[in-house]
Chain A
Amino acid sequence: MTIRENTDVTLTMVNARMAALEMGFDDPSSRQIATAVAELARNILKYAGEGSVIVKEIRRGKAIGLEVTATDRGPGIEDVEAAMKDGFSSSGTLGLGLPGVRRMMDEVEIDTRRGDGTTIVARKWC
């Protein structure tokens, strides 16, 4: 799903919640996934202007999970460690929402290079 405007964020968020419920996640977990997806998509809009968010089902052994991949070609995150702390923001009053994403998902991996974009992969197991 390409993220270019606010309505793309809303649509991606709603689709993620539906996908999570269909996979068997309970209601609170599906909302956590949808909120995390929204945070990642919002970051793309705010910092890169454009990017993509892909939601898919994954398996590891017997475990079933949902994987979110958010990719952009924006400026990259300067200080990932700082970005994972509550209250950190490099644009205005709101943070990147990454600490929240980490609380709502089971695994978060960040691959970023200054000037060459960011890919964030977040997983939650059913």
Chain B
Amino acid sequence: MTETYRKTPLQLSHGCVVMSMSPDLLGDGLSRMRRDLLELVASSGARGVVLDFSAIEVLDATEFAEVRGTISVVGMMGAKCVVSSLQPGVVGTLVDLGVDISDLVGARDLDDAFVRVGAAARDSVNGEPD
């Protein structure tokens, strides 16, 4: 059977799953993308997921809610999720939209994201009782 959709842009690097967010975030492929992401997190045993937003120029409140949903399910899989490379203009409009960004972990770029995922994983281990 022919693959009708393009593949989900997922990569494994530094023990993390990196997902490149594409501008048609809410297109028909979203639920499949999320499923592919969770399957790779499970099969690879990755401790972290980095959502790479470098290609995203505009993010509306509905899309942001989907991102939050993805972050939540990644958390349910026991992995830490870091939001990487958000453009300043996008962050500005998130503030305008009045959405809650308080508990998200952000990173300047992919290098920074890997460091933060590592730090988050260590914190979570340290935070658990012996």
The residue from B28, B60, B89, B96 contacting A13, defined by CB atoms under 8 A apart: B60
A31 x B60 contact (CB < 8 A): no
Q: Hey, which bits of chain B sit against chain A, CB under 8 A?
A: 23-24, 26-28, 57-63, 65, 89-90, 92-93, 96-98
Q: How far is the CB of A99 from chain B (nearest CB, A)?
A: 6
Q: Which B residues are CB-close (under 8 A) to A31?
A: 57-58, 89-90, 92-93
Q: Hey, which bits of chain A sit against chain B, CB under 8 A?
A: 6-7, 9-10, 13-14, 17, 27-28, 31-32, 34-35, 38-39, 42, 46, 86-87, 93-95, 97, 99-100, 103-104
The residue from A7, A10, A32, A46 contacting B96, defined by CB atoms under 8 A apart: A32
The residue from A27, A42, A93, A100 contacting B89, defined by CB atoms under 8 A apart: A27
Q: Name which residue of chain B comes closest to A45, CB basis.
A: B62
The residue from A17, A28, A39 contacting B61, defined by CB atoms under 8 A apart: A39
The residue from B28, B57, B97 contacting A97, defined by CB atoms under 8 A apart: B97
Q: How far is the CB of B109 from chain A (nearest CB, A)?
A: 19
If A17-B58, A42-B60, A100-B96 are given as contacts, then 16 extra A-B residue pairs at C-beta distance below 8 Å, sorted by A number, are A6-B28, A28-B92, A31-B90, A31-B93, A34-B57, A35-B58, A35-B59, A35-B93, A35-B97, A38-B63, A39-B61, A42-B62, A94-B61, A97-B60, A100-B97, A104-B96
